[in-house]
Amino acid sequence: MSPRLRSYPAAPPQEPDLALDVPSTLSILEGFVKTEVERTGLHRVVLGLSGGIDSALAAYIAVRALGPSGVVGVLMPYRTSSPSSVKDAEAVVGALGIVAERFEISELVDVFSAKAGNVGPRRLGNVMARVRMLVLYDRSVEHDALVLGTSNKTELLLGYGTIHGDLASALNPLGDLYKTQVRELSKALGVPKAILDKPPSADLWPEQTDERDLGASYDELDRILALLVDARVSPGTVVAKGFRRETVLRVRKQIMRSQFKRRLPLIAKVSTRSIGWDFRYPRDWNS
Amino acid sequence: MQTVRVALAQIAPKLGNLEANLEIHLDAIRLARREKAGVVVFPELSLTGYVLRDQVPEVALNRQAPLLKKLLRAASGIDVVFGFVEDAPGHRFHNAAAYASKGKIVHVHRKVYLPTYGMFEEGRDLAAGDVIRAFDTPRGPAGILICEDAWHPTTAWILVQDGAEILFALSSGPTRGAKPRRGVTSLPVWHELLRTTAQFQTSFVVYVNRVGYEDGLNFGGGSIALDPFGRTVAALPALSAGLTVAELDAEVLRRARAAYPLLRDENLELVHRETARLRQERFLLPDPLPPPRSR
């Protein structure tokens, strides 16, 4: 009889890897905000505080980078915004001791949508997002500040945002963090529990939630995205790992369809040196 | 080699700003002198910054450039290894690194392997070097590698075959996030690679990586000096600027090469014969050996 060999398992196959080293990640993000703001000669950022987790985390990171006097939080409720959104945003202001401003967008949005005619909920949502952008860029001049973006990687990849609205910013510390990672960092930084626990929502109409809009939970979406995008795994293999085929294919389609939101507008090339193709300078040119 | 104290200057160069970077170099040289270092090593493209793109021809310097003269004047009483864009004959712009001693450039290495994939675009903007040579310094023979060069094991091998006992590896290595237990993930990867290089080549390896941010890229630091056994002599933390001095002990090199005679046993003739064969097959070259004479 042959001696018995003990069997050892091989390394597990590629799994979605969303784990973060919290201290190092925060240190990179903090350094990013500080360095990229100060190299422009400015010392301040302005950001919209929605009462949600993304803008809360962005504010916490910005305070670590620039101190409370370097962060201006703007609350921009619409008349149908949930009162708890305003309360949660005020909790962030209170916890961080930052400068806060309130700018009601209801009149501007209503005047615009009345003039534009029957806009419907989707267009109304876009109008709100763009009015908020208008307010933030205007306040940024008043405060000698840069507009800090708060879109996370899940939203950016799925195109779940308004171009020239909430997607507009000068710099974005959250753009390479999935929603579940935003949650992890927010928890570590002590973002108020009410914000951590509530279901994410764009709050453009009552009862709206992100996960209803997106048709899947962030946990599932992030794991699919981490495989498709970060690990470069094929959709077929992602499905073979047990994810719903319909969701995987929809995610892939949404990533492709929203590419335009992640790039500058196309320019027709009619010269020897065209912006984007052969006029290629870094954004941090000479700084 | 003789025992030498080497300062690792982990700096954050300003993108495209030669004058500001010269000042950063002069400050670090002063500090290294105070620490009684014989050599101070800066990161890849330390005089220019990394994400240059169309700025490459604008910051490129030939070896007679006045700005280099100012730096070389400071390189007396201490040797300096620094990175710059070289405007080489034919206006080939190279990602280059120089070893300066007693106010003169002793050697220039032009990066051979220009990464052009993923987040890297060097092959678009820069000319590739095609020479890998060791050179003599006042403290002994050395060689220079720039970042991606170190990922090709043949480069360190050639330098050590050519006599190098100290390998300077200059880098602008961007990070790719941080994971639990590993921290900034790119650093342990680099450290393992460099440790293996030190052991395979029984040589000192001095790795200097930059810190700071350019267009959202973040450079990881984690500079380290390793002895020929692969042991850490000195190291700097991730992500923040700093300077440390590593004493590279000539006696340790001798001990390592006695204990692990890898260099002695390396078969240069075999490698040459096999690579000549590979080259002949790959490029369909005529057989370099004359046909055997018939008896």
- Tokens 């993304």 correspond to A54
Nearest CA in chain B to A174: B216
* Domain residue ranges in chain B: 4-261
pTM to 2 decimal places: 0.93
Separation in Å, CA A275 to CA A36, B41, B55: 22, 37, 15
Pair of tokens at residue A13: 């196959």
A277 within domain boundaries: no
Nearest CA in chain B to A173: B216
Tally of residues, chain B? 295
Task: Say if the Cβ atoms of B15 and A285 lie within 8 Å.
Answer: yes
State the alpha helices, DSSP H only, in chain B: 18-34, 56-59, 66-74, 122-125, 153-161, 186-200, 250-259, 262-265, 268-282
- How much is the mean pLDDT over chain B? 96
CA distance B97 to chain A (A): 21
Q: Is the pLDDT confidence value at B291 over 70? A: no
A254 within domain boundaries: no
Q: If you ran DSSP here, which 8-state letter would residue A40 be given?
A: T
* A138 shares contact with chain B (CB less than 8 Å): no
The pLDDT value recorded for residue B288 is 64
Which residues touch B191 (CB under 8 Å, ≥6 apart)? B222, B224
Of A24, A176, A284, the CB nearest to B15: A284
Residues 17-56 of A with CB under 8 A from B: 17, 19-21, 24-25, 27-28, 31-32, 35-36
The pLDDT value recorded for residue B67 is 97
* B117 shares contact with chain A (CB less than 8 Å): no
Q: Pairing relation of β-strands B4-10 and B166-171?
A: unpaired
Query: A24: which chain B residues are within 8 Å (Cβ-Cβ)?
Result: 178, 183-184, 238-239
- Percentage of the residues of chain B whose pLDDT score is greater than 70: 98
A155 within domain boundaries: yes
CB contacts < 8 A (A, B)? 69
The pLDDT value recorded for residue A1 is 59
A57 within domain boundaries: yes
Select from B54, B122, B210, B211 the residue whose CB has the most chain A CBs within 10 Å, as the one to mutate to test that interface: B54
Calpha distance B256→B5 (Å, rounded): 19
The pLDDT value recorded for residue A69 is 97
Pair of tokens at residue A121: 């909920």
Of B52, B178, B213, the CB nearest to A20: B178
Average pLDDT of the residues in A107-129: 94
Which residues touch A40 (CB under 8 Å, ≥6 apart)? A146, A287
Query: B55: which chain A residues are within 8 Å (Cβ-Cβ)?
Result: 281-282, 285-286
Confidence of residue B276 (pLDDT cuts 50, 70, 90): very high
Question: How far is C-alpha B161 from the geometric centre of its chain's CA atoms?
Answer: 17
Calpha distance A132→A195 (Å, rounded): 21
The pLDDT value recorded for residue A2 is 66
Calpha distance A23→A30 (Å, rounded): 10
Residue B33: CB atoms within 10 Å: 15
Average pLDDT of the residues in B200-223: 98
- Percentage of the residues of chain A whose pLDDT score is greater than 90: 90
Task: Say if the Cβ atoms of A20 and B179 lie within 8 Å.
Answer: yes
Residues 198-227 of B with CB under 8 A from A: 212-216, 218
Q: Is B71 in contact with B80 (CB distance < 8 Å)?
A: yes
Confidence of residue B76 (pLDDT cuts 50, 70, 90): confident
Confidence of residue B49 (pLDDT cuts 50, 70, 90): very high
Of B55, B184, B239, the CB nearest to A281: B55
Of B14, B181, B239, the CB nearest to A287: B14
Domains identified in chain A, total number? 1
Dihedral of CA atoms A8, A11, A16, A21 in degrees, nearest 10, equals: 100
Confidence of residue B289 (pLDDT cuts 50, 70, 90): low
Query: B212: which chain A residues are within 8 Å (Cβ-Cβ)?
Result: 35
Q: Is the pLDDT confidence value at A83 over 70? A: yes
Q: Pairing relation of β-strands A71-75 and A45-48?
A: parallel
The pLDDT value recorded for residue A218 is 96
Q: CA B169, B171, B177, B178 torsion: positive or negative?
A: positive
The pLDDT value recorded for residue B73 is 94
Model confidence pLDDT, tens digit, residues A11-36: 877 789 999 999 999 999 999 999 99
Confidence of residue A3 (pLDDT cuts 50, 70, 90): confident
Spell out where B73-195 has E strands. 79-88, 92-101, 104-110, 135-137, 140-146, 166-171, 178-179, 183-184
Of B88, B28, B98, give the one whose Cα is nearest residue B60: B88
Residue B81: CB atoms within 10 Å: 29
Confidence of residue A125 (pLDDT cuts 50, 70, 90): very high
Of A17, A27, A281, the CB nearest to B54: A281
* B15 shares contact with chain A (CB less than 8 Å): yes
Model confidence pLDDT, tens digit, residues B155-207: 999 999 999 999 999 999 999 999 999 999 999 999 999 999 999 999 999 99
Select from A33, A279, A284 the residue whose CB has the most chain B CBs within 10 Å, as the one to mutate to test that interface: A284
Task: Say if the Cβ atoms of A284 and B181 lie within 8 Å.
Answer: no
* B177 shares contact with chain A (CB less than 8 Å): yes
The pLDDT value recorded for residue A286 is 79
Residue A161: CB atoms within 10 Å: 21
Q: If you ran DSSP here, which 8-state letter would residue B169 be given?
A: E
The pLDDT value recorded for residue B54 is 96
Q: CA B21, B25, B26, B30 torsion: positive or negative?
A: positive
Q: Pairing relation of β-strands B166-171 and B204-209?
A: parallel
Q: Which of B81-90, B139-148, B274-283 has the lowest mean pLDDT?
A: B274-283
For domain B4-261, the question of CATH label 3.60.110.10 is answered with yes
φ/ψ bin of B140: left (φ > 0), alpha (ψ from -120 to 50), beta (otherwise):
left
Confidence of residue B146 (pLDDT cuts 50, 70, 90): very high
A240 within domain boundaries: no
Calpha distance B166→A154 (Å, rounded): 46
Confidence of residue B290 (pLDDT cuts 50, 70, 90): low
Task: Say if the Cβ atoms of B55 and A283 lie within 8 Å.
Answer: no
Of B15, B54, B180, the CB nearest to A279: B54
* B281 shares contact with chain A (CB less than 8 Å): no
A143 within domain boundaries: yes
* A207 shares contact with chain B (CB less than 8 Å): no
Q: Is the pLDDT confidence value at B287 over 80? A: no
Calpha distance B185→B40 (Å, rounded): 27
φ, ψ at B50 (rounded to 5°): -105, -55
Confidence of residue B60 (pLDDT cuts 50, 70, 90): very high
Task: Say if the Cβ atoms of B17 and A287 lie within 8 Å.
Answer: yes
State the alpha helices, DSSP H only, in chain A: 22-38, 53-66, 83-96, 106-116, 120-142, 153-158, 179-189, 193-197, 210-214, 218-225, 235-240, 245-257
Question: H/E element holding B6?
Answer: strand B4-10
A177 within domain boundaries: yes
Which residues face B87 on adjacent strands?
B93
Average pLDDT of the residues in B266-281: 95
Calpha distance A41→A144 (Å, rounded): 10
Q: Is the pLDDT confidence value at B295 over 70? A: no
Q: Pairing relation of β-strands B224-226 and B232-235?
A: antiparallel
A208 within domain boundaries: no
Query: B15: which chain A residues are within 8 Å (Cβ-Cβ)?
Result: 282, 284-287
Q: Is the pLDDT confidence value at A268 over 90? A: yes
The pLDDT value recorded for residue B138 is 96
Residues 144-203 of A with CB under 8 A from B: 171, 176
Calpha distance B277→A105 (Å, rounded): 75
The pLDDT value recorded for residue B33 is 97
Task: Say if the Cβ atoms of A21 and B14 lie within 8 Å.
Answer: no
Of A19, A25, A32, the CB nearest to B213: A32
Task: Say if the Cβ atoms of B178 and A25 lie within 8 Å.
Answer: yes
Separation in Å, CA B4 to CA B27, B204, B254: 21, 11, 14
The pLDDT value recorded for residue B284 is 86
Of A24, A279, A282, the CB nearest to B51: A282
Q: Is A99 in contact with A46 (CB distance < 8 Å)?
A: no
The pLDDT value recorded for residue B186 is 95
φ, ψ at A4 (rounded to 5°): -80, 130
Tally of residues, chain A? 287
The pLDDT value recorded for residue B294 is 66
φ, ψ at B280 (rounded to 5°): -60, -45
Task: Say if the Cβ atoms of B213 and A31 lie within 8 Å.
Answer: yes
Calpha distance B260→B255 (Å, rounded): 8
Q: Coil, strand, or helix at residue B17? A: coil
The pLDDT value recorded for residue A86 is 95
Domain that holds residue A161: 22-199
Write the CATH number for A105: 3.40.50.620
